[in-house]
Copies of this chain bind each other. A is one copy, B any other.
Amino acid sequence: MDPSEPTEDSKTLSKKAAKKEAAKAEKLKRQQEAAAAKAAADLSLADDPLGANYGDIPITDLQSNSITGRRWTAVGSLEEGFKDRTVLIRGRAQTIRAVSKNMAFVVVRDGRNTVQCVVTASEGVVSQQMVKYVTGINRESFVDVEGVVSVPENPIKGASQQVEVQVRKIYCVNRSLPQLPFNIEDAARSETDFEKAEQDGEQLVRVNQDTRLNNRVLDMRTPTNNAIFRVSSQVKSIFSQFLLSEGFVWIDSPKLIAGSSEGGSAVFKLDYKGQPACLAQSPQLHKQMAICGDFGRVFEIGPVFRAEDSFTHRHLCEFTGLDVEMEIKEHYSEVMDIVDRFFVTLFDTLNEKCKKELDAIRRQYPFEPLKYLPKTLKLTFEEGVQMLKESGVDVDSLGDLSTETERKLGQLVLEKYGTEFYILHRYPLAVRPFYTMPCFDNQAYSNSFDVFIRGEEIISGAQRVHEPELLTTRARACGIDIKTISTYIDSFRYGAPPHGGFGVGLERVVMLFCALNNIRKTSLFPRDPLRLAP
Residues in chain A within 8 A of chain B (CB atoms): 59-68, 70, 72, 90, 92, 109, 111, 138, 140-142, 173-177, 180, 216-221, 225-226, 229-230, 232-233, 236-237, 240-241, 244, 249-258, 268-273, 275, 277, 279, 286, 289-290, 292-296, 301-303, 305, 307, 309, 317-318, 320, 328-333, 437-441, 447, 463, 466-467, 469-470, 487, 491-498, 506, 524-525, 527, 529-530, 532-534
Contact = CB atoms under 8 A, between A and B. Distances in A.
Contacts of A140: 494-495
Contact of A294 (B221, B236, B241): B221
Given A64-B447, A307-B273, A529-B273, A230 B218 contact: no
Interface-centre pick from A279, A294, A332, A447 (highest chain B CB count, 10 A): A294
Contacts of A269: 270-271
A534 B487 contact: yes
Nearest to A534: B487
Given A236-B240, A241-B237, A295 B62 contact: no
Contact of A255 (B70, B92, B255, B275): B255
Copies of this protein in the complex: 2
Given A142-B496, A286-B534, 10 more contacts: A63-B463, A72-B329, A140-B494, A176-B493, A216-B289, A220-B290, A229-B249, A230-B249, A269-B270, A302-B302
A67 B111 contact: no
B494 A255 contact: no
A18 to B, nearest CB: 16
Contacts of A273: 307, 309, 317, 529-530, 532
Nearest to A172: B495
B177 A68 contact: no
A217 B331 contact: no
A524 B251 CA distance: 8
A485 to B, nearest CB: 12
A330 B69 CA distance: 9
B254 A527 contact: yes
A63 B438 contact: yes
Contacts of A240: 236-237, 240
Contacts of A257: 532
Nearest to A255: B303
A272 B174 contact: no
25 contacts: A59-B467, A61-B440, A62-B498, A63-B439, A66-B330, A72-B329, A142-B495, A174-B467, A180-B494, A220-B289, A225-B293, A232-B251, A233-B251, A237-B250, A254-B527, A255-B303, A255-B318, A268-B270, A269-B270, A272-B317, A273-B317, A286-B534, A289-B534, A290-B524, A487-B533
A258 B533 contact: yes
A498 B109 CA distance: 16
A524 B253 contact: yes
A240 B258 CA distance: 31
B524 A252 contact: yes
B63 A447 contact: yes
A214 B262 CA distance: 19
- 10 shortest interchain CB distances as A-B pairs: A220-B293, A176-B495, A63-B440, A233-B250, A270-B270, A140-B495, A64-B331, A65-B440, A258-B532, A258-B533
Nearest to A446: B63
Contact of A494 (B63, B177, B447): B177
Contacts of A268: 256, 270-272
Nearest to A61: B440
B229 A295 contact: yes
Contacts of A220: 289-290, 293-295
A170 to B, nearest CB: 15
Contacts of A175: 495
A416 B230 CA distance: 44
A296 B437 contact: no
A154 B128 CA distance: 92
Contacts of A70: 329-330
A94 to B, nearest CB: 10
Contact of A221 (B254, B293, B318, B320): B293
